Structure 1
């Protein structure tokens, strides 16, 4: 980040956030979890429904969004869309991060890859996954996670396509969905639970779920935030990420 003698003393850094146009969750969850002094600056990509075709088209707009955030001299960029960063299969997430970093001129992370890093940091192998998605997207997510080396014990989706409907879900909805899908006995056979989708308001559910299930729980925004702070070099305590907070990004 460029130095500036006029920079306010209470600003410790800038994070760039790339989100789908219909996402109303990632920005407030990032801001709530970040310490004072680290600010969030967003760029948006067009997306109304969470479908294969719209996600495919949206990924073409990612580099433009990253380039615009680079104009703001941000310290790092997070691409906050889970299925948008795995839609083209294994390897696309890493390729997307490279494209975004080149466009912005700073380190970049993409949610799907951030989730993999978070699960690896937790030394998780066998996982359960909860999503708001349709069966078609759940299948793509299962394929991606399996290719990354994880044993996906189960995956449960809500069947939603409209992203505004996903954004209307609450942390209580996330708690109920996870607990309906993963009972305490089943959790004994898991290393972690993953709540997918950056527009699913689930960050505030992490600590409740970890307390009830006794296993680490990660969310898309939680993993993305943990990851982008790791590459940005910015310092400060994050809030509400549960067990993941104890892990360092490798």
Structure 2
């Protein structure tokens, strides 16, 4: 099978064990994934906003340099909270910094969530994450700043360390999603690239009757659309992926 249709470079937090398998579920044949890990935090700590703000720039230049050598076509930063903790303007500048360094289009997981909501023409959302309450509020502020109303949220991560949050099961995340949902919410957002939310996505969309956006799904969608790839046949990506071609057709009418 051909491997020459494109290369995706992704920067991954060192303790993250869920982003890479999620990306593998969402990548089309012929596209290859290339990862570089960055550290600079204690995996047994319960991460807060200050730690995430420090982490955002830890090892970034070195990671970008390593991925440039792979002749990537798109670069992605795979930690949602690291950029959202400093706000939307920081996230946008962060993307520009990555693009300027690598010479290719850049994506952040946090920015990709906003893009996904705009793509789906969503205005009101429900929200959940494994973050501590303070970081959860940073996330809600980030989303609200971009013009979306968070009608309900469910904070689950008062005691989850970086090591612990990756072990939360999809069944548990499904229950968190149900608790976060609200009748007025047009979509559910589940934030964090090291949360097994993608595996709960299909059941949540079925039972809630609305789109579900996860960090890894949104990030991969942003990557693929920058590569002009139609992801409509990737069922694991939920409505964001499978309705892509339909949305394009409607836009042309």
Same fold (TM over 0.5): yes
Q: How many equivalent residue pairs?
A: 239
Change (3 A) 1:121 1:66: same
1:214 aligns with 2:209: yes
| Residues 150-195 of structure 1: CA deviation (Å, up to 9, x unaligned) | 101122121244111111012212111111332xxx33x1111001
Q: Quick one: distance in 2 between partners of 1:90 and 1:14?
A: 27
What secondary structure is seen at the aligned counterpart in 2 of 1:124? coil
Give the aligned partner of residue 100 of structure 2: 102
Residues in 2 aligned to 1:235 and 1:147: alpha-carbon distance in whole angstroms: 29
Q: Is residue 224 of structure 1 aligned with residue 232 of structure 2?
A: no
Partner of 1:4: none
CA change 1:9–1:242 in 2 (3 A) is closer
Q: CA RMSD in A?
A: 1.9
Secondary structure of 1:240's match? Answer: helix
Residues 64-73 or 191-200, more deviating: 64-73
User: Following TM superposition, by how much is the alpha carbon of 1:12 offset from its aligned partner in structure 2, in angstroms?
Assistant: 2.5
Aligned ranges 1:54-73 → 2 under 5 Å:
54-60=51-57, 61-73=59-71
Which residue does 1:22 correspond to in 2? 15
Residues 203-226 of structure 1: per-residue CA shift (max 9 Å, x gap): 121111011011111100000000
Comparing 230-239 with 32-41, which one deviates more in the overlay?
Answer: 230-239
Q: Distance in 1 between matches of 2:95 and 2:35?
A: 17
> Which residue of structure 2 aligns with residue 53 of structure 1?
50
- Name the residue aligned to 1:5: none
Aligned counterpart, 2:180: 181
In structure 2, C-alpha distance between the alignment counterparts of 1:160 and 1:65, rounded to whole Å: 30
How far is 1:62 from its partner? 2.4
In 1, Cα distance between the equivalents of 2:99 and 2:160?
Answer: 29
The Cα shift of 1:86 comes to: 1.2
Matched residue, 2:117: 119
Shift of 1:235: 5.6
Match of 2:238 in 1: 242
- Structure 2 equivalent of residue 170 of structure 1: 169
CA displacement, residues 18-62 of structure 1 (integer Å, 9 cap, x when unaligned): 111111110110012212221211111213242223212221132
Instruction: Give the TM-score normalised by the residue count of structure 2.
Output: 0.88
Stretches of structure 1 lacking an aligned partner (at least 5 in a row): 1-7
Separation in 2, partners of 1:62, 1:157: 29
CA distance in 1, matches of 2:228, 2:66: 21
Name which of 127, 130, 137 aligns with 1:129: 127
Tell me by how many angstroms 1:234 deviates: 4.6
Q: Structure 2 CA distance, aligned partners of 1:228 and 1:134?
A: 28
Equivalent residue number for residue 77 of structure 1: 75
